[in-house]
Structure 1
């Protein structure tokens, strides 16, 4: 398990302005079935891009993926219709309850990111990769 200090909270108002002003696409760089973490990239026209990963914070085998405090804040944010944003490994990470990702959960997380930066989810799209099931 990684130390809680490696999950620094991110203020959505500190994120690039284009996230709230343009049409944005979140594209998975790894498959949804690859485990509790999915790497991805936010991008918009004009070559704007930002690494943005997803982390299912309840995965705990063989070890917890995140400290209990991060998990608690993720659940609190989700309960209030928000998503917990952190900087993990130098990348924006959306920390969500769960042990893995479905298409619906990804759509919900990205929609909550849009709202956090003051944008309508109508201006956000998602491109998924399936891989990683091992079959």
Structure 2
């Protein structure tokens, strides 16, 4: 059984502009794509400041679990404590959350938790979602 490798990242190791600029997360695909929605974070005032950032719902288990049990447990513990697990999947940043898919409310909550993790006010973050 192959799980997605998710390596923890300290939010303070992320680019400084995530805590000092207005930030927009843009979905590359619609939210209905399932447990993984690829996207990117961009500084609103400087589009050259960009980092890929996917949303990963870790509770999808069919046809195979998305992550291993210890990772899933860490994601749930972080969420229970008002945090979001920030990780890396290959060369892509990922925000890992409980659940099997995404709706607008969960996207906004995950981004708000990322904002707090990097020392920004959540109202400085915005999301551009795609339908489908």
Q: TM-score, normalised by structure 1?
A: 0.93
Structure 1 segments of 4+ aligned residues over 2 angstroms from their partners: none
Quote the residue 1:77 is aligned against.
78
Looking at structure 2, the residues matched to 101 and 52 of structure 1 have their Cα atoms a distance apart, in angstroms, of 15
Q: How many residues align?
A: 129
Structure 2 residue 26 is the aligned partner of structure 1 residue 27: yes
Cα separation, 1, equivalents of 2:75 and 2:96 = 6
Structure 1 gap segments, 5+ residues each: none
Q: Distance in 1 between matches of 2:131 and 2:107?
A: 12
Q: CA deviation at 1:89?
A: 1.7
The alpha carbon displacement at 1:16 in A equals 0.1
* TM-score (structure 2 length as normaliser): 0.95
Q: Any stretches of 5+ residues in structure 2 without a counterpart?
A: none
SS at match of 2:130: coil
